[in-house]
Amino acid sequence: MTRVSPTAPPAQPALLCALAGHRPSRPPVWFMRQAGRSLPEYRRVREGIAMLDACVRPDLVAEITCQPVRRHDVDAAIFFSDIMVPLKLAGVDVDIRPGIGPVLAQPPRTAADVRALTTLAPDGLGVIEDAARACIAELGDPTDPEATPLIAFAGAPFTLAAYVVEGRGTRDHLAARTLMHADPEAWDALMTWAGDLAIAFIRAQIRGGATVAQLFDSWAGSLSRADYARYCLPYSARVFSALAADGVPTIHFGTGTGPFLDLLATAGPTCVGVDYRLGLDEAIDRLRAIGRPSPLVVQGNIDPALLSCPTPVLRAHARAVVEAGMGADGHIVNLGHGVPPSTDPDCLSDLVAYIHSLRPGKD
């Protein structure tokens, strides 16, 4: 297959350059879950404000979104929100409890419950758009090559549906996996609805100025390849096809999805996020073999556990990840999952500076 020429990348932020399959002058890097619990300035501004209340305050969202950009010099901001926000805006009684995570007051128990739920549409997306616009006021106009791009995100249909059916995060998502087989019709309605919420939530962020979108399928790793292919992939593919029509480059990340990484690519994103369990070189080989995405753009996959290792150990690992990324057309450096809350923020700043100092392939 044709490889995209690494020469003469257009004048645009490093993140967008990599997403177009080019090699910017320095490797772009950002961290999943960079905005949040690892930062003392985050804990300070969130004091006494419930998570889902914080997500509908544009001033606070913009402040928290920009904190890691100011502190770490990362190449992208991720919109501060949560995958549960579109559910909340649709009127679902959901709360995010400290130390637990999302909890639904009344998870649907019958096919009729599912049907009633899927008639709900998000209301108040204007606040999300306003919040994204407030982020852009600090990050810079998206047409400016010096601006820091804002990444929109949403939970993928399966991860949203799993929370809805289970009522909270679980390890094996038993009830969700039961429903897809026991009542494929109810499952189809639930997944189509979850996809619509994801599209609406991301589009509101794009209207406010986000120029990239990432879909998080955090729980997809609990599925077999066959179940993912039949009961999840078509719904995620629908989200990517809607966003492609909007002309926004997209990233598809799933935790523990190494065994079916090719299917994540088949869903149609611009870039595939690789979690820390799979070697980046192996991931690239597998994606090359199927010719998707084209150009081949990957994101990842520094093991978050190494953030607590001595600096030389972390740097050697980060360097190996950057070198492995040279096998793709474009590479966005990131973690292979989110920043652990206990991470020393200085370690992240140091890691960004180190990655920016690397000229992959040269000494």
- For binding to ligand 1CP (CB under 6 A), which residues are involved? 32-37, 46, 51, 78, 80-83, 96, 98, 101-102, 153, 169, 216, 218, 255, 338
Among 17, 8, 64, 63, residue whose Cα is nearest residue 212 = 17
Q: How far is the CB of 139 from ligand 1CP (least distance, A)?
A: 14
Instruction: Choose between 35 and 176: whose C-beta lies nearer to ligand 1CP.
Output: 35
Angstrom distance (rounded) from CA 214 to CA 104: 24
Distances (CA, A) of 124 to 127, 196, 250: 6, 15, 24
Q: How far is the CB of 25 from ligand 1CP (least distance, A)?
A: 25
Among 288, 284, 316, residue whose Cα is nearest residue 302 = 316
Instruction: Choose between 104 and 298: whose C-beta lies nearer to ligand 1CP.
Output: 104
Instruction: Choose between 231 and 253: whose C-beta lies nearer to ligand 1CP.
Output: 253
What is the secondary structure of 178-197 as a DSSP string?
HHHHH-HHHHHHHHHHHHHH
Q: Quickly tell me which residue has 């088949």 as its tokens.
A: 266
The binding site comprises: 33-37, 82, 163, 218, 337
Q: How far is the CB of 100 from ligand 1CP (least distance, A)?
A: 7
Query: Which residue's CB atom is positioned nearest to ligand 1CP?
Result: 169
Instruction: Choose between 33 and 286: whose C-beta lies nearer to ligand 1CP.
Output: 33
96: enclosing H helix or E strand = strand 94-97
Q: How far is the CB of 51 from ligand 1CP (least distance, A)?
A: 4
Among 132, 173, 360, residue whose Cα is nearest residue 256 = 173
Q: Could you tell me the strand order of the sheet in which 77-78 lies?
A: 77-78, 150-155, 212-217, 250-254, 271-273, 297-302, 330-335
The binding site for substrate comprises: 33-37, 82, 163, 218, 337
DSSP 269: -
Q: How far is the CB of 320 from ligand 1CP (least distance, A)?
A: 24
Angstrom distance (rounded) from CA 233 to CA 240: 10
Q: How far is the CB of 113 from ligand 1CP (least distance, A)?
A: 22
Instruction: Choose between 169 and 360: whose C-beta lies nearer to ligand 1CP.
Output: 169
Instruction: Choose between 191 and 296: whose C-beta lies nearer to ligand 1CP.
Output: 191
Q: How far is the CB of 37 from ligand 1CP (least distance, A)?
A: 5
Instruction: Choose between 87 and 180: whose C-beta lies nearer to ligand 1CP.
Output: 87
Angstrom distance (rounded) from CA 352 to CA 333: 9
- The alpha carbon of residue 213 and the mean position of all alpha carbons in its chain are separated, in whole angstroms, by 7
Angstrom distance (rounded) from CA 337 to CA 362: 28
